[in-house]
Chain A
Amino acid sequence: MIVIVDYEAGNIASVLNMIRKAGGDAIVSGRADDIKRASKLILPGVGSFDHGITHLQAKSLPSVMRERVVAGVPLLGICLGMQLLALRSEEGVQPGLGLIRANFKRFGRPDLRVPHMGWNTLNVTRKHPLLDNIGEEDRYYFAHSYYALCEDPADVLATTDYGGPFVSAYAQANVVGVQFHPEKSHRFGLRLMKRFLEM
């Protein structure tokens, strides 16, 4: 059973729709009991870093999510969900889940439009089942102002160019984060979701 973690951070309906399109099913839940039984977890998210982490904590979810990850359950973080997997973000003062050793920084170049919004490509730097066979012209939808700096470069799965390369996907063991929105990325997003179902 796939559980889409519900922590009142928007965007959940679209993730569920995309999973169903990909031929899978999921439940949307913010209850620790459901997460304990999950075979796969998705942490979606739209919103600010502290708001997200505070709501996860209010539902006592960080510890149960960590337990599931240690047990080998695949966890996919999307956009804010990816950011919450990390250690910290400049956007907030609260620590993240600390499942991936990365810190998020705001895009800082003065000539760059921030947020980074729109369709962009991936440059896959490490082989991973989720990003298998991605074309150079395949575009994914991004909407974010912060980007990851990985402490261990080996965690980087893909980079994207926005005034220079930034980390657009990372993974450590069974924990994966993508900065773009597969659920809003039409046919390429659908393909990624199918891969996640097969993982």
Chain B
Amino acid sequence: MRGGRVVKGVRFREHVVVGDIIELATRYRDEGADELVFYDIAASPEGRSVDRAWVRRVAAVLDIPFCVAGGIRSVADAEEVLAAGAEKVSVNSPALADPALVDRLAARFGSQCVVVGIDSETTPAGWRVHALTGDPGRAHDAGRATLEWMREVQQRGAGEIVLNCMASDGVRRGYDLAQLAAARAVCTVPLVASGGAGTVEHFAAVFTDAGADAALAASVFHSGAIAIPALKAALARAGIEVRR
């Protein structure tokens, strides 16, 4: 989300508008999406919190779970977003700036409400967490190794982790299976794979080879390259349990 529209970038840059929030949300719901995630990508870089007005608009039409991310820095921010109708909140940059935020959110809302998003870059020094990735000019290494941060946020009460592998984001060459499998090994909460889906086979592999609990994708759905009903049918044929 940016400026009230849905946008998508490639490797977190050059975002283009792909459509209207409500139109896309209802379309994906009708096609069988199990859950939607909304990232207000400019919120943290702009030092503000996610706009409640569109959360309420989305909640008014969506009867499937959705998660909201974007500059949620306090229990009060999360309270408003949840009261507006979101099922979960996801924190990323704010948790890096204030790791105890995860503890406070889990104590107040329960772990099942608290998702930690991790933007992980592949570097010569290994997988590293990046912050403020919604703004290419300000994105930076947050000073943490990805798997270590993943362990820490679980101890603090995160109930779900969305691991977005930045090197594969938006380029549709497949999820980063090696990184996701390594993440799976240190993850006792549900792990959502993000970044790189391009074909039906990519989705199947992230479940069978990397052990992810869910797969998140944007580009292939926004562009129409993969339709959700066909994807689910193919996954079911591959023996993966899906909601039909």
Using a CB–CB cutoff of 8 Å, the interface residues on chain A facing chain B are 8, 10-14, 17-18, 21, 46-48, 51, 80, 91, 113-115, 117-119, 137, 139, 141, 143-145, 181, 183-186, 189-190
- Please pick, from A143, A144, A189, the residue contacting B63 in the complex, using a CB distance under 8 A: A189
Docked Cα-Cα span, A144 to B88, in Å, equals 12
- Please pick, from B63, B83, B108, B159, the residue contacting A184 in the complex, using a CB distance under 8 A: B63
Check B160 against A13 for contact (C-beta < 8 Å).
no
Check A117 against B159 for contact (C-beta < 8 Å).
yes
Docked Cα-Cα span, A137 to B242, in Å, equals 10
Docked Cα-Cα span, A141 to B65, in Å, equals 8
Docked Cα-Cα span, A189 to B87, in Å, equals 15
Check B65 against A113 for contact (C-beta < 8 Å).
no
5 closest residue pairs by CB, A with B: A10-B82, A115-B112, A13-B85, A143-B112, A119-B243
Check B85 against A17 for contact (C-beta < 8 Å).
yes
Interface residues on B, range: 20 to 34
Contacts of A141 in B (CB 8 A): 64-65, 87
Asked if B23 lies at the interface with its beta carbon under 8 angstroms from chain A, I say: no
Check A117 against B85 for contact (C-beta < 8 Å).
no
Docked Cα-Cα span, A13 to B59, in Å, equals 7
Contacts of A119 in B (CB 8 A): 34, 243
CB-defined A-B contacts under 8 Å, sample of 11: A17-B60, A46-B109, A46-B113, A47-B108, A47-B113, A48-B108, A48-B110, A117-B213, A118-B34, A118-B213, A119-B243
Check B243 against A48 for contact (C-beta < 8 Å).
no
Chain A residue nearest to B65 in the complex (CB): A184
Contacts of A91 in B (CB 8 A): 110
Docked Cα-Cα span, A62 to B187, in Å, equals 39
A67 to chain B, nearest CB (A): 27
Asked if B214 lies at the interface with its beta carbon under 8 angstroms from chain A, I say: yes
